[in-house]
Amino acid sequence: MKKMWRTILITSLLSLIMSGLTSAQTDGSYVPVAKSSDTHPAYIQDMYTYHGKTYLVVDNIEWYEGKEADAVFVQREPEFGQMGAPSGYYIINDSTKLQTFEIQSDAAVLMQIYDRTGHPEDNQIIWNEPITLNKFKTIWSTDTVLHEYPYHLTITNGEIVKIVQQYIP
């Protein structure tokens, strides 16, 4: 009888632990990308490979969220400012200057939402899903919706070492 209860208890504990692990893996929530001197929000205008190296042509932007977005929105759009920033974010893109950066071959790429199955109706958010640079190049070339999203680019010594897609509702 003791052996049976021990088996039931162990099985129950393992089930509880496994269900907790599963929900921790799939029950993510949005966390803003931390601002830093080497991370720059931008729209990607082009991606190309030349002599075996991959490059991004980017249009830098200013990205604001939450209360900061509301404050900037009020300042720049006083006639609409009382409503707050639409959808909780605000983008400023005052410069048309484009910059080109090499992407390190081992750069980290974190995506939030993209067409994983070939059926856009299946798209779901998976927060900060790591993918390879090669996969990013492939989906960038086939899924033009990705061109509409801003990205946070971490640049070290003039090269992109990390790309994080910014989710926009």
What digits encode the pLDDT tens for the residues 46-95? 999 999 999 999 999 999 999 999 999 999 999 987 889 999 999 999 99
**Could you give the percent of the chain with pLDDT greater than 90?**
75
For residues 43 and 54, what is the distance between their CA atoms, to the nearest angstrom? Answer: 16
Would you say the pTM of this structure is higher than 0.85? no
CA-CA distance, 82 to 119, in Å (whole number)? 39
Main-chain dihedrals φ then ψ at residue 61, nearest 5 degrees: -130, 170
Question: What angle is formed at CA 147 by the lines to CA 140 and CA 169, rounded to 5 degrees?
Answer: 115
Confidence band, pLDDT 50/70/90 cuts, at residue 14: very low
Question: Does residue 100 have a pLDDT over 60?
Answer: yes
16 confidence band (pLDDT: 50, 70, 90): very low
Tokens 């190296």: give the residue. Answer: 53
Span 103-110, average pLDDT: 98
**pLDDT given for residue 126 in this prediction:** 96
Q: How far apart are CA 58 and CA 55, in angstroms?
A: 10
Q: What is the DSSP string of 22-65?
A: HHHHH-----PPPP-TTEEEEEEEEEEEETTEEEEEEEE-EEEE
Whole-number pLDDT of residue 120: 84
Residue 10 predicted with pLDDT over 90: no
